[in-house]
Amino acid sequence: MRDVCPRRGKAASSSDRLGGWTTRRPAGRACASRRAARVHGALRLMLSRTASNLYWMGRYLERADFTARLIEATQRLASLPSSYGGAVNAWESAIAASWMTHAFSATELPITETNVSEFLTLAPGNSSSIRSCLETARANARSVRTALTEEAWEAINAAWLEMSKLGPHLAGRDALGSILEMVKHAVSAFEGAAQRTMLRGDAFWFINLGSSIERADNSARLLDVKYHLLLPRGESVGGSLDYFQWTTILRTVSAMTAYRWVYRDSVKPWLVADLLILNRQIPRSLASCYDEIRRHLDLLASQTGRRGPAHRLAATGHARLANTNIDNIFADGLHEFLTGFIYDNNRLGDAIAEQYLF
């Protein structure tokens, strides 16, 4: 049963969607205090649909940004001579890292740079292509236009306008480069605008929750796939052949320079894993993402005075990252760790949706 504001009669009926609240307040008082708060502008309730749209908008923008970076890093890798590890499977691994192996094979196209990058950027049929991500993000933003500031909306709308000028095929490598630049720029512009202009309230927090969850998901998948592709050969890791493979990962998350700064060491696989999983200074590390997720969930709780299953799951996930080290992770198996993480991260996403009645 949930608290409601009936003027008369009984409280919640079974027709309501159930949330996972752990606390209850007496109906009458909640009603009065809410109305009082409204007068002073302290509290505004957000539509569940709005929260859902904002959350998914955050996720789709993050995914677009990630895909753009992944393509750039893959281009760089694929352009190397094969004696430097200019891997023949560079584009294959890009598809795998974006988790679209099946979707791509359904197109029955050969794996080439053009085919893969078109599939990842422009393909209207690919629901995770950059085009689709921007379209969905923009559609979500449009239907909750009032929850965004003008500047934040314009950043998304401008990117969508650019994108909608493009057909399904790339006009060439230059064209791809400028699309990727545009996408990264648009997502930055959106985050900047949101950061600078949006009220610090649930709208802002739901967007950030979405992008943090998606970011954690992307980083975990990227690491998992690359590790899978790279390690099973049983070669001595850290050789010059692998160097470019590992730096590709770092470039994808824009952490090449950060790596040097943090570890003052040559590129070593376990340090890359450490950086991406546990390092709190790197914004795309799992630990960082969970810092953000927890923070935004806490802010939501401080506004509503209520905590729920999502808070518990986030705290568990956060603790797991805080109470381990890279040696333990390797000892238990990195792949197992990452698949477990991806699963839990998804569960957290579901719990947020359920708790806030999406």
- Here the tokens at position 154 are 């314009």
Check residue 19 for interaction with another protein (CB under 8 A).
yes
- Least distance (Å) between residue 152 CB and another protein: 12
Helix pair 113-121, 173-197: axis angle to 10 deg: 30
Question: Which segment (36-44, 108-116, 179-187, 323-331) binds another protein by CB under 8 A?
Answer: 36-44
Among 42, 88, 161, 331, binds another protein (CB under 8 A): 161
- Least distance (Å) between residue 5 CB and another protein: 5
- 255 burial (CB, 10 Å; 0-12 / 13-18 / 19+) is buried
- Least distance (Å) between residue 320 CB and another protein: 27
Check residue 259 for interaction with another protein (CB under 8 A).
no
What are the CA-CA distances from residue 185 to residues 64, 163, 188, 193, 317 (Å)? 11, 13, 5, 12, 31
Check residue 14 for interaction with another protein (CB under 8 A).
no
Q: Residue 98, Cβ neighbours under 10 Å: how many?
A: 26
- Least distance (Å) between residue 292 CB and another protein: 19
Question: Which segment (34-42, 66-74, 269-277, 322-330) binds another protein by CB under 8 A?
Answer: 34-42
- Here the tokens at position 48 are 């569940």
Check residue 17 for interaction with another protein (CB under 8 A).
yes
Q: Dihedrals φ, ψ of 128, to 5°?
A: -110, 10
Residues 302-341 that bind another protein (CB under 8 A): 304, 306
Check residue 146 for interaction with another protein (CB under 8 A).
yes
Question: Which segment (61-69, 150-158, 185-193, 313-321) binds another protein by CB under 8 A?
Answer: 150-158
Give whichever of 48 and 107 is closer to another protein, judged by the CB atom.
Answer: 48
What are the CA-CA distances from residue 318 to residues 124, 182, 277, 335 (Å)? 36, 33, 11, 19
Binding to another protein by CB under 8 A, coded x per residue (else -) over 264-293, reads: ------------------------------
Query: Considering all CA atoms of the chain, what is the largest pairwise distance in Å, rounded to the nearest integer?
Result: 78
What are the CA-CA distances from residue 267 to residues 16, 173, 270, 274, 300 (Å)? 54, 29, 9, 12, 39
Check residue 357 for interaction with another protein (CB under 8 A).
yes
* Locus of tokens 């959350």: 55
Binding residues for another protein, rule: CB under 8 A, are 2-10, 13, 15-17, 19, 31, 34-36, 38-39, 45-51, 139, 142-146, 150, 153-154, 157-158, 161, 202, 304, 306, 356-357
